[in-house]
Amino acid sequence: MIPAIGLLVGIVFGLILQPIVPIWLQPYLPIAVVAALDAVFGAFRSVLDGLFNDRIFVISFLSNVLIAALIVFLGDQLGVRIPNVDWGCRGSNNANLRKRSCSATTSA
């Protein structure tokens, strides 16, 4: 019950305060969120297995986020860029989309 209340309080604060993410921090935010979700789902799995330990969760959560941010920072410092890829309708089960020509286009 406490996590659900914390989630609701966080959502309400986010809607009221409407925080603005600085531009220099924006490249790190998506990977940090994915790393945090990895830790949360790992904790959920350990709860289901009956092996949950709050200390391990906190350490896993923080280390996942910090390591992911470090990897993005290093990639940014090294100038690694991944082009945006628009795969069009590949993998679509829609018959109308399959009729069209599907080719990958890249944009930098």
Burial of 3-40, coded b for 16+ CB within 10 Å and e otherwise, reads eeeeeeeeeeeeeeeeeeeeeeeeebeebbeebbeebe
* Between 105 and 47, residue with greater pLDDT: 47
pLDDT digits 0-9 by tens, 30-50:
888 888 888 888 888 998 999
- C-alpha distances in Å from residue 60, one per residue of 39, 47, 51: 6, 15, 14
Question: pTM score > 0.75 for this model?
Answer: no
